[in-house]
Amino acid sequence: MKIFITGGTGFVGRYLVKNLSEHHQIILPTRDIKKAENLFKNLKSQQNITFIHFQEDLDHLIKKYKPDVVINLLGILHENRKKGVTYEKIHFEYTKKLVDSSSEIGIKLFIQMSALGADPKSKSRYQRTKGVAEEYIISSKLDYIIHRPSIILGKEQKLFEDFEKFSKISPFFLAPSGKVQPVNILDVRDSFINSLNIKNEIFELCGDRIVSYKELFEFALKYKNIKRPVFEMPLIFFKFMLPIFKIMPEPPMTEDQIYMLEKDNVCSGNFKGVRDILGNVRNPFEF
């Protein structure tokens, strides 16, 4: 099977490409071919990966390589408006290009990495653009799978790098009040792989443990062997701090993130989950 994977060099993408390339032909668009080749250089199955350079021409690449399946992992947590990197562009416009070209060539399945809380009516532009992209996929009449993961935990999770960086300048950490239901990276990987044999479903991907953000922060610090206290603060505190955050080079929190934090990042129970796909759930805090 020929599988076209966008975002294949990212956190989730690396796990997927390594596994899927053992049994399938992978088409991997990337802005930096040398970096991508180096990332997968030790794979025995590297010969099954075709690296192709792209800028904005994802739709043309779909038509050229004619894959059987498209897996879209493109997504951003932070915008860079000076470079034109926005939620609307990455989450919706790129998805639209992929869906339109996939419809034109008649692919077998379109698999989308969405996010827990995706909703076209959300106050958060991150969640809103994820929700609008979902709607477009479903309305396209393509056979699809949509995965909505909570926070994904694994060795390469950027959260750990951020904590290590901020610990050099901060004697303590502040966590917003609220709950989160992290999911193990291996459960996310295997859910994507197993869904190659499923059609027209939305899955919420969560682990089997709901924790506070304070507990999550404490876990991240312990994982990086960083000794810093964590204090839980109400969300209104972070709203009050927004004017200060906005003038910082790397804001610890944005207005859009505050909108997302108004609801707990936990599975709703309205959709199937990891256990339905895999039969069991890994401990998200063991990897």
The answer as to whether 21 is a domain residue is yes
Judged against a pLDDT cut of 80, whether residue 220 lies above it is answered with yes
CATH number at residue 33: 3.40.50.720
Whose tokens are 């459960």? That residue is 187
The answer as to whether 222 is a domain residue is no
The answer as to whether 123 is a domain residue is yes
Tens digit of pLDDT for each residue in 257-278? 999 999 999 999 999 999 999 9
Average pLDDT on 233-246 reads: 94
Judged against a pLDDT cut of 90, whether residue 248 lies above it is answered with no
Judged against a pLDDT cut of 90, whether residue 68 lies above it is answered with yes
Range of the domain at 141: 2-149
The pTM (predicted TM-score) of the whole model is 0.94
> Which bin fits 45, alpha (ψ -120 to 50), beta or left (φ > 0)?
alpha
Average pLDDT on 49-57 reads: 87
The answer as to whether 124 is a domain residue is yes
Tens digit of pLDDT for each residue in 151-186? 999 999 988 998 998 898 899 999 999 999 999 999
The answer as to whether 280 is a domain residue is no
pLDDT at 57: 86
> Higher pLDDT residue, 258 or 82?
258
Q: How many domains does the chain have?
A: 1
The answer as to whether 110 is a domain residue is yes
**Which of 56-78 are b and which e, b meaning 16 or more Cβ less than 10 Å from the residue's Cβ?**
eebbebbeeeebbbbbbbbbeee
Average pLDDT on 109-132 reads: 97
Q: Please state, in angstroms and rounded to a whole number, the distance separating the CA atoms of residues 285 and 223.
A: 10
